[in-house]
């Protein structure tokens, strides 16, 4: 695969300082509008905007030849871009996001220490308390794993990202929600219907289910209005999840144990997932309606239309 990882995103919000405080609170490293896990600094960048929005996605490819191949495909689609200085920049004509593709070395976060678990017939933890109980601090998020966007132009957006930029489709729900990837993760970008282009949520990977549940529990205990849904395990992608709301109003997800697709030819993408059977195998059966109708969506719609005509 020419594309091999999600490098990061830039988001615009009216009060960037509130997000700085939030990212510090949940254990990311950085400051002054630039945050990430310890091994992947700067994955999340913040700028001031009149309403909350996605401003930029950054994606990594293998080499300059990949950029040339992307440029040829975009030429075929009639989409303008800038190619030079070791990167390709695309101003998405449909959604007004910027996409930056640049050659980088393959990289993943280091494997965490494995917790000793007691299971039937395999008692690995003997005479000791569970590690999650004795940890002095919850394990922090490791990386930004995926981004979910809404758009009124789903089919055209999918064509741009898949046929133009080189994302792969992993699964499709009800013919309208497209799970796409630029790495071995089951999805790095989920494209779904929205009244205007907007950032629905972003997802931060944790070490394991204990790390997800403990970090999320501590956050929602301190911010009782932040809980959205979870814990659960998604049917599509297979990952454990817990959804919350950040101080800007954007949903964020803690996740772990997502499906990995290392052989594109061997993966069988399904396009027949039914909407009523696509959310989780345990936890809430259906996604909460607020995930599709955020409480501030009218403000986002008004802000988008004012900014983009």
pLDDT in tens, 289-299: 999 999 999 99
The mean-pLDDT minimum among 86-90, 184-188, 217-221, 274-278 falls in 274-278
CATH no. for 3-108+141-308: 3.10.180.10
Is a pLDDT exceeding 70 seen at residue 223? Answer: yes
pLDDT for the residue 309: 81
pLDDT in tens, 104-133: 999 999 999 999 999 999 999 999 999 999
pLDDT in tens, 174-207: 999 999 999 999 999 999 999 999 999 999 999 9
Is a pLDDT exceeding 80 seen at residue 134? Answer: yes
pLDDT in tens, 60-110: 999 999 999 999 999 999 999 999 999 999 999 999 999 999 999 999 999
Question: What is the H or E stretch that residue 45 is in?
Answer: strand 40-48
Is a pLDDT exceeding 90 seen at residue 277? Answer: no
Sort strands 3-13 and 53-61 into parallel, antiparallel or unpaired. antiparallel
Rounded to two decimals, the pTM is 0.97
Q: Which residues is 199 bridged to in the sheet?
A: 149
Q: Delimit the domains of the chain by residue range.
A: 3-108+141-308
Segment 30-36 shows an average pLDDT of 97
CB of 108 within 8 A of CB of 262?
Answer: no
Short-list 87, 95, 96, CA closest to 58: 87
Name the pLDDT band for 1 (thresholds 50, 70, 90): low
Name the pLDDT band for 4 (thresholds 50, 70, 90): very high
**What does the alpha-carbon distance between residue 45 and residue 222 come to, in Å, rounded to a whole number?**
25
């Amino acid at each position: 695969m020419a594309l091999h990882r999600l490098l990061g995103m830039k988001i615009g919000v009216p009060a960037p300082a509130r997000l700085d405080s939030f990212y510090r609170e949940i254990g990311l490293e950085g400051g002054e509008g630039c945050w990430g896990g310890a091994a992947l600094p700067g994955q999340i960048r913040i700028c001031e905007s009149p309403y909350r929005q996605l401003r930029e996605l950054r994606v990594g490819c293998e080499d300059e030849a990949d950029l040339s191949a992307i440029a040829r495909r975009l030429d075929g689609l009639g989409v303008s871009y800038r190619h030079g200085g070791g990167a390709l920049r695309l101003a998405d004509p449909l959604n007004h996001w910027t996409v930056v593709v640049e050659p980088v070395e393959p990289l993943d976060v280091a494997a965490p220490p494995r917790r000793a678990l007691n299971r039937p017939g395999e008692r690995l933890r003997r005479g000791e308390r569970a590690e999650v109980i004795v940890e002095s601090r919850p394990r922090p998020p490791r990386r930004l794993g995926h981004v979910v966007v809404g758009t009124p132009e789903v089919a055209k957006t999918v064509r741009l990202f898949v046929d133009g930029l080189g994302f792969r489709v992993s699964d499709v729900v009800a013919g309208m929600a497209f799970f796409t990837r630029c790495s071995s993760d089951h999805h790095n970008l989920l494209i779904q219907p929205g009244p205007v282009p907007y950032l629905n949520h972003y997802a931060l990977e944790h070490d394991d289910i204990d790390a997800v549940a403990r970090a999320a529990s501590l956050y929602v205990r301190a911010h009782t209005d932040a809980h959205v849904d979870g814990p659960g395990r998604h049917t599509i992608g297979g990952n454990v999840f817990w959804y919350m709301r950040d101080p800007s109003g954007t949903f964020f997800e803690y996740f772990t144990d997502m499906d990995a697709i290392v052989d594109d030819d061997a993966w069988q993408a399904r396009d027949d997932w039914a909407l009523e059977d696509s959310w989780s195998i345990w936890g809430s059966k259906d996604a909460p309606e607020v995930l599709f109708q955020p409480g501030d969506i009218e403000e986002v719609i008004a802000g988008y239309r004012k900014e983009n005509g």
